[in-house]
A and B are shown apart, each in its own frame.
Chain A
Amino acid sequence: MEPKHCFLGFLIGAFLTSGGEAQPAHESLKPQRVQFQSRNFHNVLHWQPGRASSNNDSIYFVQYKMYGQKEWKNKEECWGIQELFCDLTNETSDLQEPYYGRVMMASAGSYSGWTITRRFTPWWATNIGPPVVNVTQHNRSLLIILHAPDLPYRHQKGTNVTVENYYDLVYRVFLINNSLQKMQEQNIYEGAGRVVAIGALTPHSGYCVVAEIYQPMLGRSSPRSDEQCVKIP
Chain B
Amino acid sequence: MAALQKSVSSSFMGTLAAGCLLLLALWAQEGASVPVTSNCWLDRSQFQQPYIINRTFMLAEEASFADNNTDVRLIGDKLWQGIHGKRKCYLMKQVLNFTLEEVLFPYSDRFQPYMQDVVHFLARLSSQLNQCHIKDDDQHIQKNVQKLKDTVKMLGESGEIKAIGEVYLLFTALKDACT
Contacts and interface: CB of A to CB of B under 8 A. Distances in A.
Interface residues of A, number: 18
B82 to A, nearest CB: 18
Contacts of B72: 68
Nearest to B51: A219
Nearest to A69: B71
A119 B68 CA distance: 10
B50 A118 contact: no
B65 A216 contact: no
A215 B111 CA distance: 26
Interface in A198-222: 216-220
A124 interface: yes
A67 B70 contact: yes
A219 B54 CA distance: 9
Contacts of A116: 70
A100 B70 contact: yes
Contacts of B57: 121, 124
A121 B61 CA distance: 10
B172 A217 contact: no
Nearest to A218: B50
B71 A217 contact: no
Interface in A58-109: 65, 67-70, 96, 98, 100
B54 A218 contact: yes
A36 B1 CA distance: 92
B85 interface: no
Given A68-B72, A116-B70, A217 B165 contact: no
Given A68-B72, A119-B64, A218 B165 contact: no
A67 B61 CA distance: 13
Interface string B35-72: 00000000000001011011001000100110100111
A221 to B, nearest CB: 11
B139 to A, nearest CB: 25
Interface of B: 48, 50-51, 53-54, 57, 61, 64-65, 67, 70-73, 76, 165, 168-169, 172
- Nearest first, the 6 A-B pairs at minimum CB distance are A68-B73, A219-B50, A119-B64, A70-B71, A68-B76, A100-B70
